[in-house]
Structure 1
C-alpha cells in the first residue's frame, strides 16, 4: 500500500508566514481558495522538548477540519517525504516568531 502523501503548506496570514503540514491539498469548491485538510501535528507530549510554535499552531487549529486559504495568501505547497518543524515567521524578514516575550536587545 503506498504511503499517504504529505504536503508542507506555507501561507501568509496577518503579517506572519505560517508553515503547516497536511495530508490533503486541493482546489476548494469556494472560488479563489485552496483547500487544506487533515493537518498533521506531533502527538502532544511525544518528546522531551516542547516547541512553542507547534503548541501555538496546535491550539490555533485544534478544531479545524479544513482550511480554505485565499489563493493569493499561499506562498508554496511542497510534497515532502517527512514532517519537519512547524513554524510561524515574520513575513517581512523571515525570522521565526516566538510566542512568548523576549527581553529587549541591548543597543
Structure 2
C-alpha cells in the first residue's frame, strides 16, 4: 500500500446499520443520485488478533470491484490520512431515516 494515494472513509446507512468503509475512489456515478465507491481497503496484515467486525465486512465485500450507494444513504465522506477499522454498527432507537427525493421538479406553469 502506497502512502501517497488518497484514502476516503465513507459512512452510509444500509438496512438499519451504519457502515464505515475505506476506499481509494469515491465519485458521483453516471446514474443520477448515486455515489460510486471503488478500490475498497481492508486490513491485510496477517496478525494473530483479528477484528471480527472487519472480517465480516471483508467477507461481505469480497470480490466487489465497485459498489453504488444511493446519495441519500450517505452520511459522510472524509478524506483521511490513514485507514481505521472498517465496521458495521447497528442503528439504535426508534428514529429511522425517511427516504427523501434527491430532485424535486418544479411546477409547470398553469395554462
Structure 1 and Structure 2 fold alike (TM over 0.5): yes
Question: Whose radius of gyration is greater, 1 or 2?
Answer: 2
Number of the residue aligned with 1:70: 70
Q: Distance in 1 between matches of 2:40 and 2:85?
A: 13
| Deviation per residue, 1:25-70 (Å, 9 max, x gap) | 0001111100100000112x62221111111001100011111100
4+ aligned runs moved over 2 Å, structure 1: none
Q: Distance in 2 between matches of 1:79 and 1:47?
A: 27
Number of the residue aligned with 1:17: 18
5+ long unaligned stretches in structure 2: 94-111
Number of the residue aligned with 1:50: 50
Number of the residue aligned with 1:27: 28
5+ long unaligned stretches in structure 1: 94-107
| Deviation per residue, 1:4-25 (Å, 9 max, x gap) | 1000000000000000000000
What's the CA shift for 1:71?
0.2
Cα RMSD, aligned residues only: 1.4
Q: TM-score, normalised by structure 1?
A: 0.80
| Deviation per residue, 1:51-102 (Å, 9 max, x gap) | 1111100110001111110001000000000001111101236xxxxxxxxx
